[in-house]
């Protein structure tokens, strides 16, 4: 017999051994599926049984509570009678289901003699409680006379029901212990067979493979020599490509450094503009903070006076404490808006409500607007609200700049005619925010300059505000436009793309106008 024939015979022998072990392991798995798993499923049925058995205690107490309520509150007898009738129906059904079974309640019933004997002890109390409830439902005036019987039957019922729940739990634990032992035997058998599989099949197969590997060693050596020669040629070509790639990487790094520096300068310039705006609003904001601080001082003095009285009224102290807390929260919100507005680093872009951003900026500028006698007209229709994917701090900076420019533009207008209007409109896949004032309008030079930097109509202005706004909006794929309106005033409008929301089915739904 030659080498190929011996190898073939050995392989066939390994195959037969392997099939034998697999058949035995498959048989064990079938035993697990046909015997153990159904038993485990049956064991799971104990969960609703124990749960509902424990729930019977609550239902019996509810029956007694309802009977007492009918006796003590005759005017509510109709309401309590309806609850009594529902509780009695549930209680009777579960009691019967625990013994005979109920498919809708997942109750299989019980055939355990001890448990059935315990249920037999309950018959007189169940009948007694049922009769009492039915008599109360028939004649609520008899509740006073029947309540003592209900209490006596309930006490005996609860005592035996506790014993029944304990027996259900013990039966479940015993059945679970048996199944764990049987499952352990099956698992140990499977492990033993798989271990034997190594000795019968894998070890001889490894020796056969080793012989084949030795015969392939010579061929591998020849292939290695050919590979080494090829690698030398590849290394030469790789070196040339690496040098070219290094040159490209240097150029790319220089470009990224320039872009990073540009972004940093833009962020620093925007932060400086926000700090400048906040400084200009500082007087009004300080006034806004002083109001809740003054209120806190007054409430604290009032608390001191109340606590010094011989007789302390807790309701007054609680009321003043609540006002003290509200004033502190208001001051904290003002400081929080200031802190968020002047953060030096931009926040990650996320979905924001455009009307929510408008309201936050109006709240931030409220004191400045009030000081300048400007009436604010917010035209924010909830149906026109949309989500935009933005850096909220940068968009708030744009709004603050536009609001402050509008406020300054109305300084020469009579106080009763100073009106600032803010509105949002949805245009296909974009949302527009309009800031409109009743000032003197924009000079022609500003409209023609198209928000170029260092172009200002103010004596002390640098001409960077609207230029920064335009840059911020362009980085958000939006735009900024301005025009004068009749009879006087200016309207500045900026647009932003509406955020797209990806659904769970890998389709994207657009939030746009309907």
DSSP-assigned letters across all residues of 371-435: HTTPEEEEE--GGG--EEEE-HHHHHHHHHHHHHHHHHHTTTS-GGG-EEEEEEEEETTEEEEEE
Average pLDDT, integer, range 227-239: 89
pLDDT at 42 over 70: no
- The answer to whether 487 touches 417, Cβ cutoff 8 Å, is no
Label residue 466 exposed, middle or buried (CB < 10 Å: 0-12, 13-18, 19+): buried
Cα 347–349–353 angle (5° rounding)? 105
Tokens, residue 165: 């729940």
For residues 512 and 514, give the distance between their C-alpha atoms in angstroms, rounded to a whole number.
6
For residues 65 and 73, give the distance between their C-alpha atoms in angstroms, rounded to a whole number.
12
pLDDT of residue 450: 58
**DSSP for residue 107:** B
Evaluate the CA torsion angle 205, 210, 211, 217 in order and state its sign: positive
In terms of pLDDT, which residue wins out, 264 or 297?
297
Tokens, residue 183: 């499952």
For the question of whether the overall pTM of this predicted structure is more than 0.85, the answer is no
Label residue 342 exposed, middle or buried (CB < 10 Å: 0-12, 13-18, 19+): middle
Helix, strand, coil content of the chain in percent (nearest 5) = 75, 10, 15
For 494-514, the pLDDT digits (tens) are 999 998 765 444 433 444 433
**DSSP for residue 497:** E
Backbone angles phi, psi at 378, to 5 degrees: -90, 115
Average pLDDT, integer, range 241-270: 76
Tokens, residue 339: 């802190």
For 323-352, the pLDDT digits (tens) are 677 667 756 766 665 565 555 455 578 899
For residues 229 and 252, give the distance between their C-alpha atoms in angstroms, rounded to a whole number.
35
Residue 455: pLDDT band with limits 50, 70, 90 = very low
Cis peptide before 487 (omega within 30 of 0): yes
3-208 CATH:
1.20.120.1730
- The answer to whether 353 touches 499, Cβ cutoff 8 Å, is no
Tokens, residue 392: 């909220």
- The answer to whether 343 touches 267, Cβ cutoff 8 Å, is no
For residues 492 and 465, give the distance between their C-alpha atoms in angstroms, rounded to a whole number.
13
- The answer to whether 130 touches 88, Cβ cutoff 8 Å, is yes
pLDDT of residue 99: 82
**DSSP for residue 103:** T
Tokens, residue 120: 């037999």
In terms of pLDDT, which residue wins out, 362 or 461?
362
Residue 424: pLDDT band with limits 50, 70, 90 = very high
Instruction: Quickly tell me which residue has 């005036």 as its tokens.
Output: 141
Backbone conformation region of residue 278, classed left if phi is above 0, alpha if psi is from -120 to 50, else beta:
alpha
pLDDT of residue 478: 94
Average pLDDT, integer, range 288-315: 69
- The answer to whether 52 touches 98, Cβ cutoff 8 Å, is yes
Average pLDDT, integer, range 190-202: 75
Instruction: Find which of 96-110, 266-280, 296-310 is predicted with most confidence, using mean pLDDT.
Output: 96-110
On the CB side of 411, CA atoms within 13 Å amount to 9
Backbone conformation region of residue 196, classed left if phi is above 0, alpha if psi is from -120 to 50, else beta:
alpha
For 381-394, the pLDDT digits (tens) are 898 889 999 988 88
- The answer to whether 284 touches 368, Cβ cutoff 8 Å, is yes
pLDDT of residue 456: 54
Q: Quick one: which of 370, 366, 364, 369 has its CA closest to 339?
A: 364
- As its CATH architecture, domain 348-510 has 2-Layer Sandwich (3.30)
- The answer to whether 426 touches 513, Cβ cutoff 8 Å, is yes
For residues 192 and 29, give the distance between their C-alpha atoms in angstroms, rounded to a whole number.
14
For residues 468 and 401, give the distance between their C-alpha atoms in angstroms, rounded to a whole number.
9
- The answer to whether 489 touches 475, Cβ cutoff 8 Å, is no
The SS3 of residue 111 is coil
pLDDT of residue 454: 46
Residue 271: pLDDT band with limits 50, 70, 90 = low
pLDDT of residue 35: 64
- The answer to whether 157 touches 122, Cβ cutoff 8 Å, is yes
Average pLDDT, integer, range 16-31: 73
Residue 377: pLDDT band with limits 50, 70, 90 = very high
- The answer to whether 274 touches 299, Cβ cutoff 8 Å, is no
Enumerate the domain spans of the chain: 3-208, 281-342, 348-510
The SS3 of residue 488 is coil
The SS3 of residue 436 is strand
Tokens, residue 258: 């320039």
Average pLDDT, integer, range 488-495: 93
281-342 CATH:
1.10.287
- The answer to whether 401 touches 277, Cβ cutoff 8 Å, is yes
In terms of pLDDT, which residue wins out, 127 or 290?
127
């Amino acid at each position: 017999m030659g080498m190929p024939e011996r190898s073939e015979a050995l392989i066939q022998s390994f195959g037969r051994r392997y099939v034998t072990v697999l058949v035995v392991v498959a048989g064990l798995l079938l035993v697990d599926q046909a015997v153990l798993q159904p038993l485990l499923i049956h064991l799971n049925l104990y969960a609703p049984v124990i749960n509902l058995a424990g729930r019977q205690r609550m239902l019996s107490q509810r029956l007694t509570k309802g009977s007492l309520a009918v006796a003590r509150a005759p005017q509510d007898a109709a309401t309590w009678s309806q609850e009594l009738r529902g509780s009695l129906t549930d209680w009777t059904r579960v009691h019967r289901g625990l013994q005979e079974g109920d498919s809708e309640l997942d109750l299989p019933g019980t055939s355990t003699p001890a448990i059935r004997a315990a249920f037999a002890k309950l018959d007189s109390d169940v009948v007694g409680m049922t009769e009492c409830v039915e008599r109360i439902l028939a004649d609520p005036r008899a509740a006073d006379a029947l309540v003592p019987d209900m209490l006596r039957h309930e006490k005996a019922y609860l005592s035996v029901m506790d014993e029944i729940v304990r027996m259900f739990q013990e039966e479940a634990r015993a059945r679970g212990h048996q199944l764990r032992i049987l499952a352990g035997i099956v698992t140990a058998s499977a492990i033993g067979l798989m271990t034997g599989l190594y000795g019968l099949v894998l070890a001889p197969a490894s020796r056969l493979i080793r012989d084949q590997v030795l015969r392939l060693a010579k061929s591998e050596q020849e292939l290695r020599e050919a590979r080494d020669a090829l690698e030398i040629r590849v290394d030469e070509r790789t070196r040339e490509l690496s040098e070219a790639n290094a040159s490209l990487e240097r150029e790319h790094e220089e470009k990224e450094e320039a872009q990073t520096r540009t972004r940093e300068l833009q962020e620093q310039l925007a932060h400086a503009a926000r700090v400048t705006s906040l400084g200009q609003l500082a007087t009004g904001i300080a006034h806004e903070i002083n109001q809740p601080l003054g209120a806190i001082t007054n409430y604290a003095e009032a608390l001191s006076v109340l606590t010094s009285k011989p007789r302390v009224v807790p309701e007054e102290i609680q009321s003043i404490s609540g006002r003290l807390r509200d004033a502190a929260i208001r001051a904290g919100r003002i400081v929080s808006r200031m802190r968020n507005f002047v953060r030096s680093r931009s926040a990650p872009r996320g979905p924001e409500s455009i009307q929510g951003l408008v309201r936050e900026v109006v709240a931030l500028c409220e004191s400045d607007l009030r000081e300048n006698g400007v009436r604010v007209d917010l035209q924010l229709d909830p149906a026109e609200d949309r989500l935009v994917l933005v850096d909220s701090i940068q968009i708030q900076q744009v709004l603050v700049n536009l609001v402050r420019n509008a406020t300054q533009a109305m300084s020469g207008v009579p106080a009763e005619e100073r009106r600032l209007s803010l509105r949002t409109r949805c245009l296909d896949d974009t949302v527009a925010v309009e800031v409109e004032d009743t000032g003197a309008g924009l000079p022609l030079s500003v409209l023609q300059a198209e928000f170029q930097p260092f172009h200002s109509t103010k004596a002390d202005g640098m001409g960077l505000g609207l230029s920064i706004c335009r840059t911020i909006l362009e980085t958000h794929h939006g735009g900024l436009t301005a025009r004068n309106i009749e009879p006087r005033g200016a309207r500045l409008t900026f647009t932003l793309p509406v955020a797209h929301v990806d659904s769970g089915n890998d389709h994207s739904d657009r939030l746009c106008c309907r």
